[in-house]
Structure 1
């Protein structure tokens, strides 16, 4: 993420500390996450609004690898954490607004280094070329006044969207034997072969 010399948004990954004040946009109660619970690729795609091809490409190129379980061989399912899916949805929104994949990689690296509570209090602003990280509504206002912010993504709002989408979807716990998902076509074929 970047910030200009006069930009109030904090440049991620540079050691600049965000302002401690939190405004109205940033007051969210974020529940603790169980990092051992994961979601399979198709579920992650549906919740984040990305295609499986995008998800696979981003995992293979290191943009966003699944943090619960990364496949180690044939037949192993990727499991994405809630936080992974949150970042996927942010990636999708940035891409949709024309931000380059290079800028998104910088933003994702900075987001992944954040603690969960910090992450939920960030608003990402962009002018279509650069991504700015704001941690107070004063920073958002200063960016807009300076003509640098064209659109914003309140990460806390995206958090609530993803939480709602995943509430009814199947999840798995890391370390448990890999169960066949009932809607997985490959799993259905395996079951059919075993029974015949």
Structure 2
């Protein structure tokens, strides 16, 4: 993942463009907070994750098996177990889908996802991913976006704060499950608990 510095000389045009980009408030919105309903203790099953991210179950399963995006709340533990995807997982799934739709290679997407995993949830909302279709760049300020655009590299951007809001809105209408021990909601898990307990 390449990161533009944004610390180069700032001329008058860049300051004006930067100010205009900051006024839009869409790319860099630091006021996004994790809702309590979407904490690390709450997860969403595969079909709900697919609906929120706009992907197929086949994609979800393949990306989990190839470790591109694994469920962080509860991984699959053999036949009949249900994966539970957290809010952050679904956010990354939606970003992967958008990058694939624009023609970015899976290798570059893996690199971008690895980089996003290292970020705290609070910081994700302040990142804009820019891509020229070949490479993916992280921008955390309007100056960095302007640098990329002036270099002729940036072709499109994905504002993670905006994706965050879209995923949050989608998940509000979908059923969630607690990942706390003993709170498994699926029938097979309850039967296993009764049989072993």
**TM > 0.5:** yes
- Check conservation: 1:37, 1:173, Cα contact below 8 A: yes
Shift of 1:150: 0.3
1:103 paired residue number: 108
1:52-71 map, 5 Å: 52-71=57-76
Distance (whole Å) between structure 2 residues aligned to residue 63 and residue 27 of structure 1: 27
Q: CA RMSD in A?
A: 2.2
Distance (whole Å) between structure 2 residues aligned to residue 77 and residue 179 of structure 1: 10
**Cα distance per residue 1:22-66 (max 9 Å; x no partner):** 944312322235101000000000100111011001100110110
Q: Which one has a larger percent helix, Structure 1 or Structure 2?
A: 2
Residue 153 in structure 1 maps to residue 153 in structure 2: no
SS of the equivalent of 1:132 reads: strand
SS of the equivalent of 1:153 reads: strand
2:186 paired residue number: 180
For normalisation by structure 2, the TM-score amounts to 0.80
Distance (whole Å) between structure 2 residues aligned to residue 163 and residue 28 of structure 1: 16
1:13 paired residue number: none
Distance (whole Å) between structure 2 residues aligned to residue 9 and residue 138 of structure 1: 5
SS of the equivalent of 2:100 reads: helix
Distance (whole Å) between structure 1 residues aligned to residue 76 and residue 121 of structure 2: 25
- Check conservation: 2:28, 2:141, Cα contact below 8 A: yes
2:174 paired residue number: 169
Unaligned runs of 5+ in 1: 11-21, 191-196
- Check conservation: 2:178, 2:184, Cα contact below 8 A: no
Residue 30 in structure 1 maps to residue 35 in structure 2: no
SS of the equivalent of 1:80 reads: coil
SS of the equivalent of 1:157 reads: helix
Shift of 1:132: 0.2
